[in-house]
Amino acid sequence: MRNIPVYKLGRLGVLAPFKFAKNPLHFLHEGFESCGDTFQMRLFREFVVSRDPGFFRHILQQQNRNFKKGSSSKMLRPVLGNGLVTSDGDFWLRQRRLVQPAFHRERLQELFLEMGKLTAAFLDEMEAFRGKDAVDIDAKMMGVTSDIALKTLFGNMTMEDKARIYQQVTRTQKYLVTRVRRPYRVPIMAINGENRRFETDLAFFNKLVFEFIHQRRISGEKPNDLLQLLLDSTDEETGERMNDQQIRDEAITMFAAGHETSATGLSWLLYELAKQPEIVAKIRAESAIFDNVPTFQQLMQMPYTRQVVEEGLRLYPPAWTMTREAIVDQEIEGFGIKSGTSVFLSVFELHRNPNLWKNPLTFDPENFNAENVKDRAKFNYLPFGAGPRICIGQQFAMMEMQLLLAALVKRFSFESDPRHPVGMHPQIVLKSTNGIKLFVR
C-alpha cells in the first residue's frame, strides 16, 4: 500500500490549526497543490483529506457501512438532536424511511404552490431596493428561504418569531464553528457569555417548536405542511410513530439544513451572474414562458436555468465538506486507512479539481448540458452528497433555487458593489467573509 503524503507547516506543523481556522479553503488548496489529491494533516488530531472521487465513492457508497458520521456532526447534535444529519445506524435508517415521503414528487408539487406565493411577495419587497444603495443579497436570500422553510414546515408563524429564528441560526452557526476550529477559546466562551447566549437561543427555539407540535396534536387540524407529515408518518414494520422529541429533531434539521444551503447557493449564484451578462440573457430568454413567477410545469421547461443552478453549486457548493470516521481498517485507492481515522472529504476541491474539470475555475453552465452530464463520472460532482445518505431534500432545494433565480433574473438586474470586496470563509456552509452586496436595477 502507498504512504499517504503528509502536509504540515514548518518542522513540527504546530501552526496548521491556526492557519486552517483563519482560511480553511486556502489551507486545504495549498495541501492539495503540495501533496496531490489525498494527504494527511494534524489539526489538534489527525485527518486524512481527499478530493479524489474514488474516496467519495468508497466512503459514501461502496463501503458506507464501514464509516460513521465525523466530528462535524457531533458539534451539531446540541441543535439538531438525533435527526437525519447527525444520527447513524438502524435509528437513522428508520428515520429516513419515516421522513422520505415528505419529499416525493407529488408532495413537492403541492409545496411548490406555497413557494410560488412567497416568491411573488418577495419580488415585490425587492422593488424597494431597486436603484438604491447596494443590498446584502445574502441576508435577503436567507430571509426568503427561511420564510419558505418555515411556511412549508409549520404553516403560519409570526414575523417576530421568524426574525428571531433567523438571528439565532446565524449566531448559533458561528458559535458551533468556533468551538470546533478554535478549541482553545472554549474556556473563554464559558466566561464571556457566549455559552449562556447559545443555551438561551436553543431554549427559545425548542419551546417554539414543541409548542407548534403540541398545538397541532390537540387542534385536530391536518394542514398540508411537512410538520403534519412528520406527525402522521408510521413505520411500516412496527406501526410506530415518532414521538415529540423525534419530530422536533427532524423539523429543526429540515429547517436548518434546508433553508441556509439554498440561500447560500443563491447568494453566490447572483454574485457570479452580476459578472455574466450573456448567461443572464439566456435565462431571461427562457423566462419568456411565464409572467411573474413560473408554475411547476413551466419550471420543468427551463433546462438552461437548471444548468446555471448546477454550475453555481459546482463552483460554490454550500455543503463544502463532509467528514467520516472509519470503524474498520481498510484500503482506499491504495492507501491504508486505519479504524478510528477521520476522513475529511473536500467537496469544494472535488468540484474544482483540475484533473476532473476543464477550466475548473470558469463559470460555465455548459458543464451541465445533456452531453457533458452523460459523459461525466458520477462522483465528480456531489453538491448533495451520494449513496444512502444523499441529501433527502435535494429536489426541494433544486426546485426552490430554480424558482427564485428565474423570477429574480426576469424582473431585476444585479451589479456588484466595487467598494465591497467579497471573500469566501466557510462555516458549516460556504459563507462569505462579510456578506455579498449587490445593486438592484
- 67-71, 247-251, 378-382: lowest mean pLDDT where? 67-71
DSSP state of 130: B
Residue 267: pLDDT over 90: yes
Residue 12: pLDDT over 60: no
Residues 6 or more apart whose Cβ sits within 8 Å of residue 239 = none
Average pLDDT over residues 24-41: 95
**Residue 438 β-bridge partners:** 135, 416
Average pLDDT over residues 26-49: 92
CA end-to-end span of the chain: 58
Mean pLDDT of the chain: 90
Q: Does residue 322 contact residue 65 with C-beta atoms inside 8 Å?
A: no
pLDDT of residue 359: 95
Higher pLDDT among residues 406 and 70, named by residue: 406
Residue 5: pLDDT over 90: yes
Domains of the chain: 16-360+387-440 (1.10.630.10)
Confidence category of residue 279, pLDDT binned at 50, 70, 90: very high
| Nearest by Cα to 325 from 69, 75, 91 | 69
Confidence category of residue 219, pLDDT binned at 50, 70, 90: confident
| Nearest by Cα to 134 from 418, 435, 439 | 439
Half-sphere exposure of 227 (CA within 13 A, CB side): 25
| Nearest by Cα to 387 from 64, 55, 98 | 64
- Residue-wise pLDDT for 85-100, tens only, equals 889 888 998 899 889 8
- Residue-wise pLDDT for 117-140, tens only, equals 999 999 999 999 999 999 999 989
Residue 259: pLDDT over 90: no
pLDDT of residue 388: 94
∠ CA 373-376-378, rounded to 5°: 100
Higher pLDDT among residues 147 and 183, named by residue: 147
- Residue-wise pLDDT for 413-436, tens only, equals 999 999 999 999 898 899 998 889
Average pLDDT over residues 312-331: 96
pLDDT of residue 178: 79
Kindly state the percentage of the chain with pLDDT values over 70: 98
Confidence category of residue 63, pLDDT binned at 50, 70, 90: very high
- Residue-wise pLDDT for 341-380, tens only, equals 999 999 999 999 999 999 999 999 999 999 999 999 999 9
- 146-160, 191-205, 214-228, 328-342: lowest mean pLDDT where? 146-160
pLDDT of residue 432: 92
CA distance 73 to 372: 34
pLDDT of residue 402: 98
Place of cell 457566549: 194
**Helices marked H in 100-243:** 105-126, 137-154, 159-181, 186-191, 194-219, 226-232
Residue 13: pLDDT over 70: no
Tell me the DSSP string of 360-409.
TTS--GGGGSHHHHHHS-GGG--TT--GGGS-TTHHHHHHHHHHHHHHHH
CA distance 296 to 299: 5
Confidence category of residue 72, pLDDT binned at 50, 70, 90: low
Q: Does residue 287 contact residue 294 with C-beta atoms inside 8 Å?
A: yes
pTM of structure:
0.92
Residue 340: pLDDT over 70: yes
**Amino acid, res. 172:** T
Average pLDDT over residues 283-297: 96
Kindly state the percentage of the chain with pLDDT values over 90: 61
pLDDT of residue 176: 79
pLDDT of residue 58: 98
Residue 274: pLDDT over 70: yes
Residue 14: pLDDT over 70: no
**Residue 414 β-bridge partners:** 440
